[in-house]
Amino acid sequence: MIPLTFRFCYYRGQKDFLWRDLHTLCLQSCKMFAGAHRIIVHYDVEGEGPNWDEARALPGIEWSQESFVTTINGLPVTDQRIVCDLFRLKTLDTEGGFFCDLDFVFLKSFESIRHDQAVIGIQCKAKSKLCCALMGAVPGSAFIKAYIDSYKDWTLMDQKKFWTYANIVPWNLAKSHPVTILGRPAFYPWCWSNKTFLRGEKINLKASLAIHLWETLNPNLTVEDLKKTTLGPVIQEIMGLPTQTSVQVQPGGLLQF
């Protein structure tokens, strides 16, 4: 059974990767909705600014400073996404749990998907792509071990093939290793090419356990922006604000909706 431990990677490396309000929202939603027994943020160096301070003040979050491996086969890795993915895979191999990018909003409990050896979600079935942004596994999963092993022939040229390792490699491995593949709505109900979602168009989240926000492609997206989307009521709930369906008792016994 996959532990309900949720892990996140905040690796800054040599780039100015700032902690954003979206990252804090991610942790808050995980704590409120995912059914997490533990939430751990693995980081290399301390962040700074009000968003970082707010996140560090959240109760029930563990913070673990790490020394990240920045070489593969003795060759330097400059793409921080690959550094994070390697850390993700090796941590899942030894510890198990769910490892997630920081640009998710969690919507439901993960209890229903923890009963297999490993789980991963479809990003695009037509293009044969899974997505490693959110994966779960028991310690010692054969799928995760094979994924780690896929880097044995990695070269410097492969830094230009990040998406191959993030999407195509896990798709191919899933054909011969024990892993449960979840349909796209589970984690990726919003396709990154669909800009109408950010303009307020409704999307169906009934089958979604979480939603990926594609932060890399939307670097200026904020929590205030998300309040104008389908996620508006969810964000209001996370922040403890009244929603349109909230009922409050006012003085004199009056009900305010």
pLDDT in tens, the chain (257 residues): 999 999 999 999 866 789 999 999 999 999 999 999 999 999 999 999 999 999 999 999 999 999 999 999 888 888 888 999 999 999 999 999 999 999 999 999 999 999 999 999 999 999 999 999 999 999 999 999 999 999 988 876 666 678 889 999 999 999 999 999 999 999 999 887 877 888 889 999 999 999 999 998 888 999 999 999 999 999 999 988 665 443 343 444 343 43
Buried residues in 35-74 as b, exposed as e (16+ CB within 10 A)? bbeebbbbbbeebeeebbeebeeeeebeeeeeebebebee
H helices of 14-77, where? 21-33, 50-56
Task: Centre a 10 Å sphere on the Cβ of residue 206 and count the other Cβ atoms it contains.
Answer: 8
CATH class of 5-256: alpha beta
- Three-class secondary structure of residue 40 per DSSP: strand
The domain locations on the chain are: 5-256
Task: Centre a 10 Å sphere on the Cβ of residue 246 and count the other Cβ atoms it contains.
Answer: 12
Return all residues near 175 (Cβ < 8 A) that are at least 6 apart: none
The answer to whether the beta carbons of residues 231 and 222 sit under 8 Å apart is no
**What are the tokens at 211?**
């939603």
As a whole number of angstroms, the distance between CA 6 and CA 24 comes to 14
